[in-house]
Amino acid sequence: MSGFYIQQMASPETLELMRRPDAFVMLAQIALRARRRGSLALDELQPGEALIGDFRSIGLTARRYRTAKATLERGGLVTFKATNRGTIATLASDTVFRVLGINADEPAGAEATSERPASDQPATTNLKKKREKKERKQEGAAAPVEVFAALLAEERFRRLDAPEMRAAYAAWCQYRHEIKKPVTSRAVEMDCQHMLAILDAGGAAVEIKNRMDRAVGAGWRGWYFPDQPGQRPGQSGAAPGSARTADDAAERYRKTFTGA
């Protein structure tokens, strides 16, 4: 038992959404994660809000994740807002799932039931904190990838919308997350401009990927150095910052994304 209740409504909207399983399972994830009144608010979310973005945890691909988001937003069930921490989903309707403890006239989860012994509360709270910390870590790596995907929909960056480009940039964002230097939204847009500069100069997607691979191998925090493409300006080849942290992250990157 998690200490709070979610009601699934027997409504036409529920039956309709069940015909779209990706959107249905995403809405269920949002309902489960939605902050309730009286719960711990370290992430500064408001009641009814949830951090999402770790689409693999519910068995979706990036494309199916975007389609499910569009379905929920179009149906008026959820609103979404991209932030540096990840995507914040806000429940906009209770026609499919009703989360008790969101509205002021409803009891919060701990108040709604007396079945749980008080002695078990500390262990449950610790497990909840660990789970939320793990979820925020996963969402932190996905946030810049979502910003990148949104930029690719704009006309100025449409030339970058290719599977190999998406894969290369997702790997780069994962590496930056591993060395605790996550890519910001502003940096994502600058990276897109750098990619266009390479294409305009006659380069190809493979050159962009090679530059990112080289930066990861060297432990750099940036991958685009037009003056010295083989070496970071002002560096003799040593990795900046913590060498151990960068080397470990680079090794994980190679194993995960190159199969080496």
Cα 240 to Cα 109: distance, rounded to the nearest angstrom:
47
DSSP conformation class of 84: T
Q: Is 152 or 110 the better-scoring residue by pLDDT?
A: 152
Going along 161-210, which residue ranges are E strands? none
Tell me the pLDDT tens digit for each residue of 6-21: 888 988 899 999 999 9
Q: What percent of the chain has pLDDT over 90?
A: 33
Cα-based distances in Å from 10 to 48, 98, 203: 21, 11, 56
For the purposes of burial, counting CB atoms within 10 Å of the CB of 118, is it exposed (0-12), middle (13-18) or buried (19 or more)? Answer: exposed
- What's the full length of the chain, in residues? 260
Question: What integer pLDDT is reported at residue 51 of this predicted model?
Answer: 87
Q: Residues 99, 39: contact at Cβ < 8 Å?
A: no
The pLDDT of residue 99 is above 80: yes
Phi then psi for residue 89, to 5 deg, are -100, 135
The pLDDT of residue 225 is above 50: yes
Q: Is 224 or 252 the better-scoring residue by pLDDT?
A: 224
Cα 100 to Cα 5: distance, rounded to the nearest angstrom:
6
Q: What residues contact 197, with CB distance under 8 A and at least 6 apart?
A: 226
**Tokens in use for 168?**
């290369």
The pLDDT of residue 78 is above 90: yes
Tell me the pLDDT tens digit for each residue of 139-196: 555 688 888 999 999 999 999 999 999 999 999 998 998 898 888 888 999 999 999 9
Provide the whole-model pTM: 0.40
3-state secondary structure of 49: strand
The pLDDT of residue 126 is above 60: yes
